[in-house]
A and B are shown apart, each in its own frame.
Chain A
Amino acid sequence: MKIKCQVFCWFIVCSLWFMAGSSFAQAEKFFEVKAKKFSYTPNIIEVNKGDLVRIRLISEDVHHGFFVDGYAVSTSAHPGQDGSLKFTADKPGRFCFRCSVTCGEFHPYMVGYLVVKPNSRFSMSAAAVILIGLGSLVIVFRKKENEQG
């Protein structure tokens, strides 16, 4: 039973490790992102790890910025004067892209998500929660009377 459990846990960890490290065939992805107080359209951009991402930023009202967490690349756009951005999505996970030019009162909350698949940060964290949780449950159920903790 104990060995079966260990094999199962290793299987999950190895699968996640494989998912995290695996790369997809590189493709070029182009997005036309419209910025308007205080959101982006599309608000969630999904690409695969290794994709070349090209973004055209269009402002529909005032001067807006576009900064991508984790990649530290940015551009900005005025109405009628678009911005552009190109980078290789080589880090998996979910990253915020956020307005980098003060555009109004809700400016600090003007964000969108760049999801670079596979989102191994989330899957690893979720797996860790489940494994640790189940591990703690096993410990609890092995406790005997008068045992502390």
Chain B
Amino acid sequence: MSKDKLFGLVDLDWRFELTKFRPVRALFKSRWFPLLPILFNLFIFVIILLAGFLGGYSAGNYNFGIMIVWILWWVMLMFVLVPVLSRAWCLMCPFPIFGEWAQRGALFGVNMGKLGGLNLKWPKALKNMWIMNVFFLVTTFFSGFFTVRPLATFILLGLIILIAFIMGLIFEKRSFCLYVCPVSGFQGLYSQFATTEIRSKDPQVCKEHKLKTCYLGNEKGYGCPWLLAPFSFRKNTYCGMCLECFKSCPYDNMAFNLRPPGADLLVDDKRGLDEAWKSFIMLGIAMVFFLSMQGPWGVLKDMVRASTLRGYLTFITFHTVLCLLVIPGIFFVFSYLSKVFSGNKEVSLKKLFINFSYTLIPIGLGAWIAFSFGIVLPNGSYILHILSDPFSWGWNLFGTKNVPWTPVFTHSLGYLQGITLLVFYLFSLAYGFRLSKQTFPGLQEAKRGWIPIFTFLTLTTLLFLWLYIG
């Protein structure tokens, strides 16, 4: 055990293996899991697509597709799935399964033969988050449509499913999930904060196991569909939690662990500008979404919903410049100041910029959770309505069709948002100085170099506080 304790309370090396409980391990090793959750979600998404198609241009708050995707699913992602269960959504996501089934030629069992499709390798230059960054940012250009217009949600989801299928036929394994899926990037980034992880139990067992079945596969499970080496997992970012490695490991050497939140932020593995920009983009989108969806400015709403072409283009330009240039630019200035303050001439500005960008992960996640409170508390009650009448055909399946709009705990919204931002700010501070020590060789340099980044984090938190409750 290390002596490094988060907030002086929890050892950062502390782990509690959940798969040591037999039912949990049995579940993880069963081929029914995650197949059953995937099939369940497939069923739900069929209804979502149908509701989206049939709902057309109607107001989204009474549409099954809009409410389940943009209220329930999004909030579940931000509140539970990502911060607690890492990439658990990828485990049960139905989007890429058609391509995967086409590759495997099997729905349930393990096909030991060659995978179907062209199985091309993804271009090396694109093996990063850049496409996902751009895809996600471009997707948000249409937030004024797909979060309110059922048909827009239908088109967006339909496109994602279609692209995933086509890519499954062309490229090997889960190339779509790894390098293209717009939802994948931010889940990967924020899953570094998650309180759970999949890791090997004993590295020595893996070392002595010459046939890397977790990577190559065997009759019990496929080789890692995410093209990773599960025996050397160090962080959550690119593990889609498909659980194949639990099935294919003959030594039961894979574990699903509880751990202190944010442990991956200190793992210096595959850090890069692509992940740094993902952090900036997520911060920028949180601001723009708040301004357009929870702010009182009608002129912004008109721009986002494209009342005029000029207004819409202004919104896209502002949004893009903010996410890709302004926020990274300001952060660059603070990173430069960090280098100047530290007095260190050896550490490159690029390394400093990249390493410190990971301090934005807790703050960014906090900003998104706080934003999500403002979406679910006022609008959550619409879900009761759409569960009873998913296609707006006048059904009343569960007797909740006529439940009136009821805002829940909106009197406490400001407190919830303020506390959330404060808590995640604390995590950013806690990991920030550790990252500073990781970046600079000397303690005094780390202390001095930390001041500008600390200032940036404090100002960012104050900005979000002002936006949300000021």
Contacts and interface: CB of A to CB of B under 8 A. Distances in A.
A132 B296 contact: no
B454 A39 contact: no
Contacts of A110: 301
Interface in B48-80: 57-62
B28 to A, nearest CB: 33
Contact of A111 (B2, B3, B295, B433): B295
Residue among B4, B296, B413, B466 with max Cβ neighbours from chain A (10 Å):
B296
Interface stretch (B37-45, B248-256, B457-465): B457-465
Interface residues of A, number: 50
A129 B465 contact: yes
B418 interface: yes
Residue among A38, A110, A144 with max Cβ neighbours from chain B (10 Å):
A38
A107 B2 CA distance: 53
B413 A96 contact: yes
Nearest to A140: B433
Contacts of A79: none
A60 to B, nearest CB: 12
Contact of B5 (A43, A107, A141, A149): A149
B378 A148 contact: no
B2 A70 contact: no
A81 interface: no
Interface string B67-102: 000000000000000000000000000000000000
A110 B422 CA distance: 27
B123 interface: no
Interface in B1-25: 2-6, 8
A105 B5 CA distance: 49
Interface residues of B, number: 56
Contacts of B434: 149
A121 B469 contact: yes
B322 interface: no
Interface string A59-96: 00000000101111000000000000000000101111
B421 interface: yes
A69 B411 contact: yes
A111 B462 CA distance: 22
Interface string B417-454: 01001100110011001100000000100010011001
A96 B378 contact: yes
A72 B411 contact: yes
SS of B interface (majority): helix
Given A125-B418, A130-B458, A107 B447 contact: no
A98 to B, nearest CB: 6
A75 B386 CA distance: 25
Given A104-B59, A108-B148, A122-B470, A38 B298 contact: yes
B149 interface: yes
Given A121-B469, A122-B466, A43 B410 contact: no
A128 interface: yes
Contacts of A100: 405
A26 to B, nearest CB: 21
B294 interface: yes
Contacts of B433: 136, 140
Contacts of A4: none
B447 A141 contact: yes
A17 B117 CA distance: 67
Nearest to B412: A70
Contact of A105 (B295, B305, B418, B470): B305
Given A121-B469, A122-B466, A108 B295 contact: no
Contact of B413 (A69, A72, A125): A69
A122 to B, nearest CB: 4
20 contacts: A39-B298, A40-B296, A70-B411, A102-B62, A106-B148, A108-B148, A109-B294, A125-B418, A125-B469, A126-B470, A129-B421, A130-B458, A132-B422, A132-B426, A133-B425, A133-B454, A136-B426, A143-B447, A148-B4, A149-B4
Interface of A: 36, 38-41, 43-44, 67, 69-72, 91, 93-96, 98, 100, 102-113, 119, 121-122, 125-126, 128-130, 132-133, 136-137, 140-141, 143-145, 148-149
10 closest residue pairs by CB, A with B = A39-B298, A43-B296, A69-B410, A125-B418, A148-B4, A70-B411, A105-B148, A112-B296, A122-B470, A148-B3
